C-alpha cells in the first residue's frame, strides 16, 4: 500500500506563505518555481482544501491556509533545533531567548541576573519583555515566562523559583503623621495604595493564625505597577502591600516600615514557565537553572 509523506509540500507551502510569492519562495528553497507550485498543489489535493489564493500579481492565504500556517509556525525552528541536536547534541547553549517577566522583579533582581547570564554565555542573546500581562507562550513565541499567578495553559513546564511574602508598609513620616494601625480594620481610616491587578480586587485579606480579616478598601491611589506603588509609598503617600522582592531592601534600610507584622497579607510565588517541547533548547534549560540558583541566594525571594 502506498503511503504519503505527511511533510511533502509543507516546506514549499511555508516558503510561499512567508514570501507571498511562488517565485521568491522557490528561490529561498533553491528550487524551481514549477517544482514548488507542483508540491503545493499536491498538498492542497491531499488535504482537499485550497490553501492559497493565486492571481497573476499576488498570492494570498485562504482562511484554511492561514490556520494551517499558524499551526506550523514554529516548524522550521523546531526542525532546526532537531538538526542541531542531532549534530552536536546541543552541548553548548546558544541562540536567541525571548523572555517575558513582571517589571517589578526586574528592578532589584532580574536585569542584573540577565547581565550576569549573558556574560557567562556569549553565544546567547536575550529579548526581555517586561509586562504584567500573562502572555501565551506558544502563540506569542516566547521561550520562557516568569510568573507569579499561573494561567491555565496546556503543555507548559513549571519550575518554582521562590516565594516572596507580602508586607504591609509605609514611610516613617506618614506613620508619624497619621498613626500606626493596630488591627487590620484600622486600615480603612488610612490612605491606601493599591495594586490594581490583584485578583480579589479592592479587598486586602489579612491572617493571623486561624483569624482571617477581609478589609474592603477605597484606595487613595491605585496603580498597575508595583514599583510605581513603592515610589508613592516612599514619598509618604500612604500604606501599601507589596512583596519583599519589591520593598525588602527598603524595609532592611529603614526607608519603609512594616506595620501589622503579626498579620500576614499573603505571599507571591515566582515560577519559570516554558513550553513542554519534546526538544527543549539547551538555552532554556541553562537560563532556568541559572535563575533558580540566583533566586536561592536571595532572602527576599525565599521569605514565604
198-209: pLDDT as tens digits: 777 789 999 999
In the chain, CATH 1.10.10.10 covers: 10-73
**Residues whose CB is less than 8 angstroms from the CB of residue 221 and which lie 6 or more positions away in sequence, other chains included:** 191, 192, 193, 194, 229, 232, 237, 238
The CATH number of 91-304 is: 3.40.190.290
232-266: pLDDT as tens digits: 999 999 999 999 999 999 999 999 999 999 999 99
Q: In degrees rounded to 5, what are phi and psi of residue 24?
A: -65, -40
List of long-range contacts for 291-297, beta carbons under 8 Å, 24+ apart: 291/113, 291/146, 291/161, 292/159, 292/161, 294/109, 294/113, 294/116, 295/109, 295/161, 295/162, 295/270, 296/162
Confidence of residue 154 (pLDDT cuts 50, 70, 90): low
Confidence of residue 89 (pLDDT cuts 50, 70, 90): very low
Task: Report the chain's terminal Cα–Cα distance, integer Å.
Answer: 62
Rounded Cα distance, 302 and 304, in Å? 6
Confidence of residue 171 (pLDDT cuts 50, 70, 90): very high
Q: Are strands 211-216 and 203-208 parallel, antiparallel or unpaired?
A: antiparallel
In the chain, CATH 3.40.190.290 covers: 91-304
The CATH number of 10-73 is: 1.10.10.10
Rounded Cα distance, 283 and 93, in Å? 4
276-294: pLDDT as tens digits: 765 567 889 899 999 999 9
Task: Give the mean model confidence (pLDDT) for residues 96-102.
Answer: 92
User: Per residue, what are the HEC states of 200-221?
Assistant: CCCEEEEEECCEEEEEECCCCE
Rounded Cα distance, 95 and 75, in Å? 16
105-125: pLDDT as tens digits: 888 899 999 999 999 999 999
Alpha helices by DSSP H, listed for the chain, are: 10-19, 22-29, 33-47, 63-71, 75-88, 103-105, 111-120, 137-140, 172-178, 226-234, 244-253, 282-296
Alpha helices by DSSP H, listed for 152-304, are: 172-178, 226-234, 244-253, 282-296
Residues above pLDDT 90, as percent of the chain: 49
Confidence of residue 86 (pLDDT cuts 50, 70, 90): low
Confidence of residue 87 (pLDDT cuts 50, 70, 90): low
- How many whole angstroms from its chain centre is CA 92? 24
Q: Tell me, what's the pLDDT at 150?
A: 57
Q: In degrees rounded to 5, what are phi and psi of residue 8?
A: -60, 125
Q: In degrees rounded to 5, what are phi and psi of residue 134?
A: -80, 100
Helices 282-296, 111-120: crossing angle, 10 deg rounding: 130
- For 84, other C-beta atoms within 10 Å of its C-beta total 17
121-153: pLDDT as tens digits: 999 999 999 988 778 887 888 999 998 865 556
Residue 190 has pLDDT above 70, yes or no: yes
Q: Tell me, what's the pLDDT at 238?
A: 97
Task: Give the mean model confidence (pLDDT) for residues 90-118.
Answer: 87
Amino acid at each position: 500500500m502506498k503511503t504519503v509523506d505527511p511533510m511533502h509540500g509543507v516546506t514549499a507551502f511555508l516558503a510561499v506563505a512567508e514570501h507571498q510569492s511562488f517565485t521568491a519562495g522557490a528561490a529561498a528553497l533553491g528550487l524551481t518555481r514549477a517544482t514548488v507550485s507542483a508540491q503545493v498543489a499536491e498538498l492542497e489535493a491531499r488535504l482537499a482544501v485550497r490553501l492559497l489564493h493565486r492571481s497573476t500579481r499576488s498570492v494570498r492565504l485562504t482562511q484554511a491556509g492561514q490556520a494551517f500556517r499558524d499551526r506550523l509556525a514554529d516548524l522550521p525552528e523546531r526542525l532546526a533545533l532537531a538538526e542541531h541536536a542531532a549534530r552536536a547534541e546541543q552541548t553548548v547553549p546558544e541562540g536567541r531567548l525571548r523572555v517575558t517577566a513582571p517589571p517589578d522583579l526586574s528592578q532589584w533582581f532580574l536585569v542584573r541576573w540577565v547581565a550576569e547570564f549573558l556574560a557567562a554565555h556569549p553565544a546567547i542573546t536575550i529579548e526581555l519583555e517586561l509586562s504584567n500581562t500573562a502572555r501565551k507562550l506558544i502563540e506569542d513565541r516566547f521561550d520562557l515566562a516568569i510568573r507569579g499567578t499561573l494561567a491555565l495553559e496546556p503543555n507548559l513546564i513549571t519550575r518554582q523559583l521562590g516565594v516572596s511574602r507580602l508586607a504591609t508598609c509605609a514611610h516613617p513620616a506618614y506613620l508619624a503623621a497619621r498613626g500606626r494601625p493596630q488591627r487590620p480594620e484600622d486600615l480603612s481610616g488610612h490612605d491606601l495604595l493599591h495594586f490594581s491587578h490583584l485578583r480579589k480586587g479592592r479587598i486586602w485579606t489579612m491572617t493571623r493564625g486561624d483569624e482571617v480579616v477581609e478589609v474592603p478598601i477605597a484606595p487613595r491611589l491605585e496603580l498597575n505597577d508595583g514599583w510605581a506603588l513603592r515610589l508613592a509609598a516612599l514619598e509618604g503617600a500612604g500604606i501599601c502591600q507589596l512583596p519583599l522582592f519589591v520593598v525588602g531592601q527598603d524595609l532592611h534600610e529603614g526607608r519603609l516600615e512594616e506595620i501589622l507584622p503579626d498579620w500576614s497579607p499573603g505571599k507571591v510565588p515566582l515560577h519559570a514557565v516554558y513550553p513542554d517541547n519534546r526538544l527543549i533548547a539547551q538555552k532554556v534549560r541553562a537560563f532556568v537553572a541559572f535563575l533558580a540558583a540566583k533566586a536561592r541566594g536571595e532572602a527576599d525571594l525565599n521569605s514565604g
